[in-house]
Copies of this chain bind each other. A is one copy, B any other.
Amino acid sequence: MHTETKIIGRYIGKFGELWTQSLTDLVKEGVAGVLADSELDPAEIDAIFVANKAGGSFNEQRHLGALVSEQFAHFPPAMRVEGACASGGLAVIAAEQAIRSGLYQTVLVLGVEKMTDVSSSETSTILATAASRDKEYGSTFPALYAVLANYHIKRYGTTREQLSSVVVKNHHHAMTNPAAQFHKEFTLDQVGSSVMVADPLRLLDCSPITDGVAAVILSSKPSSRKTKLLGFGHAQDTLALQDRQDLGELAATRIAASKALKMAKLRQKDIQAAEVHDCFSIAEILATEDLGFFAKGEAASAIAAGQATYGGQVIINPSGGLKACGHPVGATGVKQVSFLSAMIEAGQIERGLTHNVGGSGATAVVNVLGI
Protein backbone atom coordinates (compact mmCIF):
# COMPACT_ATOMS: atom_id res chain seq x y z
CA MET A 1 0.00 0.00 0.00
CA HIS A 2 1.50 3.29 -1.12
CA THR A 3 1.95 5.88 1.61
CA GLU A 4 4.45 8.41 0.32
CA THR A 5 7.07 8.85 -2.35
CA LYS A 6 10.32 10.63 -1.60
CA ILE A 7 13.01 12.06 -3.86
CA ILE A 8 15.96 10.03 -2.62
CA GLY A 9 18.50 10.95 -5.28
CA ARG A 10 19.09 13.92 -7.58
CA TYR A 11 21.59 15.11 -10.17
CA ILE A 12 21.88 18.01 -12.57
CA GLY A 13 24.79 17.91 -15.01
CA LYS A 14 26.39 21.10 -16.27
CA PHE A 15 24.01 22.59 -18.89
CA GLY A 16 25.43 24.18 -22.01
CA GLU A 17 26.77 23.54 -25.49
CA LEU A 18 28.51 20.29 -24.62
CA TRP A 19 30.45 19.66 -27.80
CA THR A 20 32.67 17.03 -26.23
CA GLN A 21 29.87 14.85 -24.85
CA SER A 22 27.61 12.49 -26.80
CA LEU A 23 24.05 11.57 -25.87
CA THR A 24 25.42 8.31 -24.43
CA ASP A 25 28.01 10.25 -22.42
CA LEU A 26 25.25 12.39 -20.92
CA VAL A 27 23.23 9.28 -20.05
CA LYS A 28 26.24 7.72 -18.31
CA GLU A 29 26.94 10.97 -16.43
CA GLY A 30 23.33 11.24 -15.27
CA VAL A 31 23.13 7.64 -14.07
CA ALA A 32 26.45 7.83 -12.22
CA GLY A 33 25.61 11.22 -10.72
CA VAL A 34 22.20 10.32 -9.35
CA LEU A 35 23.38 6.96 -7.99
CA ALA A 36 26.29 8.66 -6.21
CA ASP A 37 23.96 11.24 -4.67
CA SER A 38 21.47 8.58 -3.54
CA GLU A 39 24.13 6.21 -2.18
CA LEU A 40 21.92 3.36 -3.47
CA ASP A 41 23.16 0.03 -4.69
CA PRO A 42 22.37 0.20 -8.45
CA ALA A 43 20.52 -3.12 -8.10
CA GLU A 44 17.87 -1.30 -6.05
CA ILE A 45 16.59 0.53 -9.16
CA ASP A 46 13.36 -1.33 -10.05
CA ALA A 47 12.44 0.58 -13.21
CA ILE A 48 13.44 3.54 -15.36
CA PHE A 49 11.51 6.32 -17.07
CA VAL A 50 13.44 8.36 -19.61
CA ALA A 51 12.35 11.84 -20.69
CA ASN A 52 13.55 12.98 -24.10
CA LYS A 53 11.90 14.90 -26.88
CA ALA A 54 13.77 14.11 -30.06
CA GLY A 55 16.86 11.93 -29.63
CA GLY A 56 15.92 10.27 -32.90
CA SER A 57 16.27 13.46 -34.90
CA PHE A 58 18.99 15.14 -32.85
CA ASN A 59 21.19 12.08 -32.30
CA GLU A 60 19.87 9.19 -34.41
CA GLN A 61 19.02 7.25 -31.27
CA ARG A 62 15.44 5.98 -31.03
CA HIS A 63 15.58 3.46 -28.21
CA LEU A 64 16.65 5.52 -25.23
CA GLY A 65 14.92 3.39 -22.60
CA ALA A 66 17.15 0.47 -23.54
CA LEU A 67 20.22 2.73 -23.67
CA VAL A 68 19.66 3.86 -20.06
CA SER A 69 18.75 0.36 -18.89
CA GLU A 70 21.98 -1.13 -20.22
CA GLN A 71 23.96 1.10 -17.86
CA PHE A 72 22.83 -1.33 -15.13
CA ALA A 73 23.98 -4.92 -14.73
CA HIS A 74 20.42 -6.05 -13.98
CA PHE A 75 18.74 -4.22 -16.94
CA PRO A 76 15.76 -2.62 -15.17
CA PRO A 77 12.59 -2.29 -17.29
CA ALA A 78 12.67 1.10 -19.00
CA MET A 79 10.42 3.21 -21.13
CA ARG A 80 10.70 6.61 -22.72
CA VAL A 81 7.97 9.14 -22.02
CA GLU A 82 7.38 12.07 -24.36
CA GLY A 83 5.11 15.10 -24.19
CA ALA A 84 7.22 17.52 -26.24
CA CYS A 85 8.94 20.04 -23.91
CA ALA A 86 6.93 18.67 -20.95
CA SER A 87 8.51 15.22 -21.24
CA GLY A 88 10.48 15.62 -18.00
CA GLY A 89 7.48 16.50 -15.87
CA LEU A 90 5.48 13.69 -17.46
CA ALA A 91 8.21 11.13 -16.74
CA VAL A 92 8.05 12.05 -13.05
CA ILE A 93 4.28 11.46 -13.14
CA ALA A 94 4.66 8.13 -14.99
CA ALA A 95 7.23 7.03 -12.40
CA GLU A 96 4.93 8.01 -9.53
CA GLN A 97 2.04 6.10 -11.15
CA ALA A 98 4.28 3.04 -11.47
CA ILE A 99 5.23 3.29 -7.78
CA ARG A 100 1.61 3.76 -6.72
CA SER A 101 0.65 0.71 -8.81
CA GLY A 102 2.61 -1.31 -6.24
CA LEU A 103 4.78 -2.89 -8.91
CA TYR A 104 7.94 -0.91 -8.15
CA GLN A 105 9.42 0.76 -5.09
CA THR A 106 12.42 2.66 -6.42
CA VAL A 107 12.35 4.28 -9.85
CA LEU A 108 14.93 6.31 -11.76
CA VAL A 109 13.74 9.25 -13.85
CA LEU A 110 16.37 10.52 -16.26
CA GLY A 111 15.82 13.47 -18.59
CA VAL A 112 18.31 14.13 -21.33
CA GLU A 113 18.60 16.12 -24.53
CA LYS A 114 21.64 16.62 -26.77
CA MET A 115 20.51 19.38 -29.10
CA THR A 116 23.73 20.78 -30.56
CA ASP A 117 24.48 17.77 -32.78
CA VAL A 118 22.40 19.46 -35.50
CA SER A 119 22.31 23.08 -36.69
CA SER A 120 20.28 25.75 -34.87
CA SER A 121 17.98 25.92 -37.87
CA GLU A 122 17.31 22.17 -37.73
CA THR A 123 16.80 22.40 -33.96
CA SER A 124 14.24 25.14 -34.43
CA THR A 125 12.37 23.04 -36.99
CA ILE A 126 12.44 19.94 -34.78
CA LEU A 127 11.13 21.90 -31.79
CA ALA A 128 8.38 23.49 -33.87
CA THR A 129 6.90 20.08 -34.71
CA ALA A 130 5.40 20.04 -31.21
CA ALA A 131 2.87 22.53 -32.57
CA SER A 132 -0.14 21.59 -34.71
CA ARG A 133 1.09 20.24 -38.04
CA ASP A 134 -2.31 20.77 -39.61
CA LYS A 135 -2.86 24.35 -38.46
CA GLU A 136 0.48 25.94 -37.59
CA TYR A 137 2.83 24.26 -40.04
CA GLY A 138 6.02 26.24 -40.39
CA SER A 139 5.50 28.34 -37.26
CA THR A 140 8.45 28.46 -34.91
CA PHE A 141 7.94 28.67 -31.16
CA PRO A 142 9.12 32.30 -30.95
CA ALA A 143 6.37 33.15 -33.46
CA LEU A 144 3.68 31.33 -31.44
CA TYR A 145 4.75 32.89 -28.13
CA ALA A 146 4.92 36.29 -29.86
CA VAL A 147 1.19 35.91 -30.53
CA LEU A 148 0.64 35.27 -26.82
CA ALA A 149 2.89 38.19 -25.88
CA ASN A 150 1.10 40.63 -28.19
CA TYR A 151 -2.26 39.54 -26.81
CA HIS A 152 -1.04 40.04 -23.24
CA ILE A 153 0.39 43.48 -24.06
CA LYS A 154 -2.85 44.58 -25.69
CA ARG A 155 -5.15 43.24 -22.96
CA TYR A 156 -3.12 43.94 -19.82
CA GLY A 157 -0.74 46.71 -20.83
CA THR A 158 2.33 44.53 -20.25
CA THR A 159 5.42 46.58 -21.07
CA ARG A 160 8.79 45.94 -22.72
CA GLU A 161 10.48 46.75 -19.42
CA GLN A 162 8.35 44.18 -17.57
CA LEU A 163 9.24 41.47 -20.08
CA SER A 164 12.89 42.40 -19.63
CA SER A 165 12.59 42.24 -15.85
CA VAL A 166 11.86 38.49 -16.07
CA VAL A 167 15.09 37.99 -17.99
CA VAL A 168 17.20 40.18 -15.70
CA LYS A 169 15.88 38.31 -12.64
CA ASN A 170 16.47 34.83 -14.06
CA HIS A 171 19.99 35.59 -15.26
CA HIS A 172 20.69 36.97 -11.78
CA HIS A 173 19.38 33.78 -10.17
CA ALA A 174 21.57 31.64 -12.44
CA MET A 175 24.72 33.35 -11.14
CA THR A 176 24.65 31.10 -8.05
CA ASN A 177 23.69 27.89 -9.90
CA PRO A 178 26.87 26.10 -10.97
CA ALA A 179 24.92 23.93 -13.48
CA ALA A 180 23.52 26.93 -15.37
CA GLN A 181 24.37 27.45 -19.03
CA PHE A 182 24.87 31.20 -18.53
CA HIS A 183 26.64 33.06 -15.77
CA LYS A 184 26.12 36.53 -17.15
CA GLU A 185 23.93 39.34 -15.89
CA PHE A 186 22.01 41.68 -18.19
CA THR A 187 20.43 45.10 -17.69
CA LEU A 188 16.86 45.95 -18.67
CA ASP A 189 18.28 48.06 -21.51
CA GLN A 190 20.45 45.24 -22.82
CA VAL A 191 17.46 42.86 -22.95
CA GLY A 192 15.20 45.48 -24.54
CA SER A 193 17.72 46.33 -27.23
CA SER A 194 18.79 42.78 -28.13
CA VAL A 195 18.06 41.65 -31.68
CA MET A 196 14.41 41.09 -32.58
CA VAL A 197 13.41 37.44 -33.15
CA ALA A 198 9.60 37.55 -33.39
CA ASP A 199 8.11 40.91 -32.44
CA PRO A 200 7.91 41.67 -29.48
CA LEU A 201 10.23 38.83 -28.43
CA ARG A 202 13.94 39.65 -28.71
CA LEU A 203 16.90 37.31 -28.52
CA LEU A 204 17.27 37.74 -24.76
CA ASP A 205 13.55 36.99 -24.23
CA CYS A 206 14.17 33.46 -25.58
CA SER A 207 15.52 30.42 -23.78
CA PRO A 208 18.62 28.94 -25.45
CA ILE A 209 19.45 25.67 -27.19
CA THR A 210 21.05 23.48 -24.57
CA ASP A 211 22.61 20.06 -24.03
CA GLY A 212 22.11 18.52 -20.61
CA VAL A 213 21.04 15.72 -18.33
CA ALA A 214 19.15 15.68 -15.04
CA ALA A 215 17.94 12.77 -12.94
CA VAL A 216 16.00 12.00 -9.80
CA ILE A 217 15.25 8.76 -7.97
CA LEU A 218 11.75 8.35 -6.54
CA SER A 219 11.14 5.75 -3.86
CA SER A 220 8.38 4.55 -1.58
CA LYS A 221 10.96 2.99 0.76
CA PRO A 222 11.79 4.68 4.07
CA SER A 223 14.55 7.27 3.66
CA SER A 224 16.31 9.93 5.69
CA ARG A 225 15.74 12.39 2.82
CA LYS A 226 13.15 15.07 3.46
CA THR A 227 11.59 15.79 0.05
CA LYS A 228 8.26 14.16 -0.69
CA LEU A 229 6.29 14.27 -3.95
CA LEU A 230 3.09 15.68 -2.45
CA GLY A 231 0.97 16.02 -5.57
CA PHE A 232 0.94 16.15 -9.33
CA GLY A 233 -1.35 17.43 -12.06
CA HIS A 234 -1.41 16.92 -15.81
CA ALA A 235 -3.69 18.66 -18.27
CA GLN A 236 -4.00 19.25 -21.98
CA ASP A 237 -5.31 21.89 -24.34
CA THR A 238 -5.57 22.23 -28.11
CA LEU A 239 -2.32 22.00 -30.05
CA ALA A 240 -3.08 25.11 -32.10
CA LEU A 241 -3.39 28.56 -30.56
CA GLN A 242 -6.22 29.38 -32.96
CA ASP A 243 -8.40 26.72 -31.33
CA ARG A 244 -7.99 28.09 -27.78
CA GLN A 245 -10.81 29.64 -25.80
CA ASP A 246 -8.66 32.47 -24.45
CA LEU A 247 -5.19 33.60 -25.55
CA GLY A 248 -4.75 35.43 -22.26
CA GLU A 249 -3.87 32.23 -20.40
CA LEU A 250 -2.55 28.69 -20.79
CA ALA A 251 -5.63 26.88 -19.48
CA ALA A 252 -3.77 23.58 -19.13
CA THR A 253 -1.41 25.20 -16.62
CA ARG A 254 -4.34 26.44 -14.54
CA ILE A 255 -5.98 23.00 -14.51
CA ALA A 256 -2.76 21.08 -13.81
CA ALA A 257 -1.94 23.41 -10.90
CA SER A 258 -5.40 23.02 -9.45
CA LYS A 259 -5.14 19.20 -9.60
CA ALA A 260 -1.64 19.13 -8.11
CA LEU A 261 -2.32 21.53 -5.25
CA LYS A 262 -5.56 19.72 -4.41
CA MET A 263 -3.70 16.40 -4.24
CA ALA A 264 -0.99 18.02 -2.08
CA LYS A 265 -3.66 19.69 0.09
CA LEU A 266 -1.86 23.01 -0.31
CA ARG A 267 -2.62 26.45 -1.68
CA GLN A 268 -0.49 28.82 -3.73
CA LYS A 269 0.45 30.84 -0.63
CA ASP A 270 2.04 27.72 0.88
CA ILE A 271 4.56 27.49 -1.98
CA GLN A 272 7.87 29.24 -1.33
CA ALA A 273 9.65 28.61 -4.62
CA ALA A 274 8.60 27.48 -8.08
CA GLU A 275 10.49 26.40 -11.16
CA VAL A 276 8.24 27.46 -14.03
CA HIS A 277 8.44 26.98 -17.80
CA ASP A 278 9.92 30.31 -18.95
CA CYS A 279 10.78 29.26 -22.50
CA PHE A 280 10.20 32.95 -23.26
CA SER A 281 9.90 35.95 -20.91
CA ILE A 282 6.17 36.15 -21.63
CA ALA A 283 5.83 32.48 -20.66
CA GLU A 284 6.92 33.20 -17.07
CA ILE A 285 4.36 36.00 -16.84
CA LEU A 286 1.60 33.69 -18.11
CA ALA A 287 2.78 30.83 -15.90
CA THR A 288 2.85 32.78 -12.65
CA GLU A 289 -0.66 34.07 -13.37
CA ASP A 290 -2.06 30.69 -14.49
CA LEU A 291 -0.45 28.90 -11.55
CA GLY A 292 -2.29 31.39 -9.31
CA PHE A 293 0.70 33.14 -7.75
CA PHE A 294 -0.45 36.48 -9.14
CA ALA A 295 -3.86 37.67 -10.36
CA LYS A 296 -4.39 37.71 -14.13
CA GLY A 297 -2.76 40.78 -15.60
CA GLU A 298 -0.71 41.50 -12.47
CA ALA A 299 2.29 39.17 -12.78
CA ALA A 300 4.33 41.44 -15.04
CA SER A 301 4.26 44.35 -12.61
CA ALA A 302 4.76 42.04 -9.61
CA ILE A 303 7.85 40.45 -11.17
CA ALA A 304 9.23 43.87 -12.12
CA ALA A 305 8.63 44.99 -8.51
CA GLY A 306 10.70 42.14 -7.07
CA GLN A 307 7.85 39.91 -5.91
CA ALA A 308 9.24 36.84 -7.76
CA THR A 309 12.68 36.68 -6.20
CA TYR A 310 14.24 36.23 -2.74
CA GLY A 311 12.45 38.45 -0.25
CA GLY A 312 9.35 38.69 -2.45
CA GLN A 313 6.08 36.77 -2.47
CA VAL A 314 7.48 33.60 -4.10
CA ILE A 315 10.87 32.76 -5.61
CA ILE A 316 10.24 32.05 -9.30
CA ASN A 317 12.95 30.13 -11.13
CA PRO A 318 15.69 30.11 -8.51
CA SER A 319 17.76 27.91 -10.88
CA GLY A 320 17.68 30.64 -13.51
CA GLY A 321 14.84 28.86 -15.30
CA LEU A 322 14.86 27.70 -18.88
CA LYS A 323 16.06 31.20 -19.78
CA ALA A 324 19.40 31.25 -17.95
CA CYS A 325 19.93 27.74 -16.56
CA GLY A 326 19.20 26.48 -20.10
CA HIS A 327 16.58 24.27 -21.72
CA PRO A 328 17.76 20.79 -22.73
CA VAL A 329 14.18 19.90 -23.55
CA GLY A 330 13.68 16.41 -22.10
CA ALA A 331 15.87 17.24 -19.10
CA THR A 332 14.07 20.45 -18.09
CA GLY A 333 11.14 19.00 -16.13
CA VAL A 334 13.47 16.61 -14.29
CA LYS A 335 15.92 19.42 -13.53
CA GLN A 336 13.06 21.44 -12.00
CA VAL A 337 12.25 18.63 -9.56
CA SER A 338 15.92 17.98 -8.83
CA PHE A 339 16.67 21.66 -8.17
CA LEU A 340 13.78 22.25 -5.78
CA SER A 341 14.54 18.98 -4.01
CA ALA A 342 18.06 20.30 -3.37
CA MET A 343 16.64 23.52 -1.91
CA ILE A 344 14.36 21.52 0.39
CA GLU A 345 17.14 19.19 1.52
CA ALA A 346 19.33 22.25 2.22
CA GLY A 347 16.59 23.78 4.37
CA GLN A 348 16.15 26.80 2.07
CA ILE A 349 12.45 26.10 1.45
CA GLU A 350 9.90 23.64 2.78
CA ARG A 351 7.51 23.48 -0.20
CA GLY A 352 8.03 24.02 -3.92
CA LEU A 353 6.25 23.56 -7.23
CA THR A 354 7.47 22.69 -10.71
CA HIS A 355 5.70 23.65 -13.93
CA ASN A 356 6.61 22.13 -17.30
CA VAL A 357 4.85 22.93 -20.59
CA GLY A 358 4.77 21.14 -23.94
CA GLY A 359 4.07 22.99 -27.17
CA SER A 360 2.51 26.42 -26.68
CA GLY A 361 0.47 25.07 -23.75
CA ALA A 362 -1.05 21.88 -25.19
CA THR A 363 0.48 19.86 -22.33
CA ALA A 364 1.09 21.18 -18.82
CA VAL A 365 2.50 19.29 -15.85
CA VAL A 366 2.74 20.51 -12.27
CA ASN A 367 4.51 18.63 -9.48
CA VAL A 368 4.39 19.72 -5.84
CA LEU A 369 7.27 18.90 -3.49
CA GLY A 370 7.53 19.40 0.24
CA ILE A 371 8.72 18.08 3.55
Contact = CB atoms under 8 A, between A and B. Distances in A.
Interface of A: 2, 22-24, 53-54, 56-57, 59-67, 69-70, 75-84, 90, 93-94, 96-103, 126, 129-134, 137, 234-239, 243, 252, 358-359, 362-363
A362 B63 contact: yes
A75 B237 contact: yes
Contact of A133 (B60, B94, B126, B239): B60
Given A56-B129, A79-B83, 20 more contacts: A23-B133, A60-B137, A62-B82, A62-B129, A62-B130, A63-B83, A63-B131, A63-B239, A63-B359, A66-B238, A66-B358, A69-B236, A75-B238, A76-B236, A78-B363, A96-B101, A97-B98, A97-B101, A97-B103, A100-B103
B81 A239 contact: no
Contacts of A90: 79
Contacts of A24: 133-134
B56 A126 contact: yes
Nearest to A72: B236
Q: Chain A interface mostly helix, strand, loop or mixed? A: mixed
A63 B93 CA distance: 17
Contacts of A133: 23-24, 59-61
A215 to B, nearest CB: 18
Contacts of A66: 83-84, 236-239, 358-359, 362-363
B80 A236 contact: no
Nearest to A66: B362
Contacts of A22: 134
Which residue among A79, A90, A234 has the maximum number of chain B CB atoms within 10 Å of its CB? A79
Contact of A243 (B70, B76, B243, B252): B70
Contact of A78 (B56, B129, B236): B236
Nearest to A64: B82
Contacts of A62: 53-54, 82, 84, 126, 129-130
A92 to B, nearest CB: 11
22 contacts: A22-B134, A24-B134, A53-B62, A56-B57, A59-B133, A60-B133, A62-B130, A63-B83, A63-B130, A63-B131, A66-B84, A66-B239, A66-B359, A75-B236, A75-B237, A78-B363, A79-B94, A79-B234, A80-B81, A80-B82, A98-B101, A100-B100
